[in-house]
Amino acid sequence: MAHATQVGLQDATSPIMEELITFHDHALMIIFLICFLVLYALFLTLTTKLTNTNISDAQEMETVWTILPAIILVLIALPSLRILYMTDEVNDPSLTIKSIGHQWYWTYEYTDYGGLIFNSYMLPPLFLEPGDLRLLDVDNRVVLPIETPIRMMITSQDVLHSWAVPTLGLKTDAIPGRLNQTTFTATRPGVYYGQCSEICGANHSFMPIVLELIPLKIFEMGPVFTL
Amino acid sequence: MLDVEAQEPPKGKWSTPPFDPRFPSQNQIRNCYQNFLDYHRCLKTRTRRGKSTQPCEYYFRVYHSLCPISWVESWNEQIKNGIFAGKI
């Protein structure tokens, strides 16, 4: 989860998110370089003693400052497209979970093997135990195995919602009448939080998502199925 | 209906619908609906011919894994009432 005053991205829990963080660092460095260059040029312009107003031609400089930005844009686009195609790879999932958005809670269905369906409501402030996270913790978490490709099918029963877990690099809209698929593989166990990311009414801020990722051996023992 | 044990996947193996190249995009609604239709069509054809409906269980497992259960229940209700829009 994010901590207070956090500015950057959360630590990655999936290989795609690791790639996204690296790309973000790369793009941000280019942005900083361009900003610094422009600020420096502005500073020079404002403090120069040169006052010749008859300069009318600068073909070489014009060529350079046309070609160079084009190259920079290509250098940003190539890693970006690489990651975009990486997210779409066919990766043969081992488990399918359905996530259905409602106003204002999520329903999760584990129906590969039997049928487990449950709702996940945010814990109201009065029901929080000491140590629980306000506006983030839920009554029933989504328990999943690590190091397993998982397919999430996301839809909505009423209005638009969006199922997002930043640490896994996931954000998929829940659209009524559509069944959006997203896949991920978590690399380490833990409890990971996300929040509904599409305005959906009065309690849009109060329908969080909590994933509890556990080792595959423990998941196979069936704790999920023994309520 | 059909034998419940026949519809469950083999024990000890986590199975989930494989990648279907007929539906490569993000919106898998057609995948879910097509398997639902295929299951009922398979049942209808094989029962009419007096054959075992065991091969139809694959379609059942796929749509059961992919489709939200509320959709499945409402479609089954429509089939029971004779108002299902799909061609079975």
Distance from CA of B9 to the nearest CA of A (A): 7
A128 or B9, which is more confident?
A: A128
**pLDDT(A21) > 80:** yes
Residue A153 in domain: yes
Residue A33 in domain: yes
pLDDT in tens, B27-86: 999 999 999 999 999 999 999 999 999 999 999 999 999 999 999 999 999 999 999 999
A119 in contact with B, Cβ within 8 Å: no
Q: Tell me, what's the pLDDT at A140?
A: 94
Residues A210 and A142: their CA atoms lie apart, in Å, by 6
Domain ranges of chain B: 28-88
Which of A55, A88, A121 delimits the end of a domain? A88
Assign domain B28-88 to a CATH class.
mainly alpha
Residue A168 in domain: yes
Please tell me whether residues A101 and A80 are part of one structural domain. no
CB contacts, 8 Å: B32 with chain A: 179
Using the beta-carbon criterion (under 8 Å), do A109 and B68 form an inter-chain contact?
Answer: yes
What percentage of chain A's residues is helix, strand, coil (to nearest 5)?
35, 25, 40
Beta-carbon count within 10 A of B58 CB: 16
Confidence of residue A113 (pLDDT cuts 50, 70, 90): confident
- DSSP codes, B7-33: HSPPTT----PPP-TT--SSB-HHHHH
**pLDDT(A158) > 90:** yes
Q: Tell me, what's the pLDDT at A53?
A: 84
Confidence of residue A227 (pLDDT cuts 50, 70, 90): very low
- The enclosing domain of A215 has a CATH number of 2.60.40.420
| Helix residue ranges per DSSP H, A48-99 | 59-87
Residue A9 in domain: no
- DSSP codes, B52-67: --GGGHHHHHHHHHHS
A102 in contact with B, Cβ within 8 Å: no
> Strand, coil or helix: what is A221?
coil
Range of the domain at A174: 95-221
Partner B, chain A 13-72, Cβ-Cβ below 8 Å:
none
pLDDT in tens, A181-211: 999 999 999 999 999 999 999 999 999 999 9
- The enclosing domain of A61 has a CATH number of 1.10.287.90
Residue among A157, A182, A162 nearest A173 (CA): A162
Sign of the Cα torsion A48, A52, A55, A59 reads negative
> Strand, coil or helix: what is A128?
coil
What is the number of domains present in chain A? Answer: 2
**What is the pTM for the complete model shown?**
0.89
Using the beta-carbon criterion (under 8 Å), do B65 and A178 form an inter-chain contact?
Answer: no
Nearest residue of B to residue A181, measured between CA atoms: B26
Please tell me whether residues A108 and A177 are part of one structural domain. yes
Strand partners, A95: A150
Please tell me whether residues A84 and A29 are part of one structural domain. yes
